[in-house]
C-alpha cells in the first residue's frame, strides 16, 4: 500500500516536471483517493496526507503562472 502511495505521488511529480498541467491535474485527481485511503487505514498520519495533497496542489497551481 505504501508503494502504491509513493507511485501515485511520483506520477504527479513527473507530470509537473514535464510541465504538462493537464496530465499533472489528472494524476493528482487519481492520487488523492489513494492518499486518503492510506491515511484512513492508519498507514500514514492524516496530517502527512494533507501535507502531500497541499504541496502537490501548490506545484500544480504554480504551473499555470
Q: What is the pLDDT of residue 65?
A: 66
Cell of 15: 507530470
Distance of CA 64 to the CA centre of its chain: 17
Q: pLDDT digit string (tens) for 6-31?
A: 999 999 999 999 999 999 999 999 99
Look at residue 44 and give its three-state secondary structure.
coil
Domain ranges across the chain: 2-64
Q: Which residues are CB-contacts of 32 (< 8 A; sequence separation ≥ 6)? A: 53
Q: What is the pLDDT of residue 57?
A: 97
Q: Which residues are CB-contacts of 53 (< 8 A; sequence separation ≥ 6)? A: 32, 35
Residue 41's pLDDT band (boundaries 50, 70, 90)?
very high
Distance of CA 50 to the CA centre of its chain: 10
pTM listed for this prediction: 0.91
Q: What is the pLDDT of residue 44?
A: 97
Question: Average model confidence (pLDDT) for the chain?
Answer: 96
Amino acid at each position: 500500500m505504501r508503494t502504491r502511495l509513493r507511485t501515485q505521488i511520483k506520477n504527479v511529480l513527473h507530470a509537473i516536471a514535464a510541465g504538462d498541467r493537464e496530465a499533472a491535474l489528472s494524476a493528482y485527481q487519481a492520487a488523492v483517493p489513494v492518499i486518503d485511503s492510506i491515511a484512513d487505514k492508519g498507514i500514514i498520519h492524516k496530517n502527512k496526507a494533507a501535507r502531500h495533497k497541499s504541496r502537490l496542489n501548490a506545484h500544480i497551481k504554480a504551473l499555470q503562472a
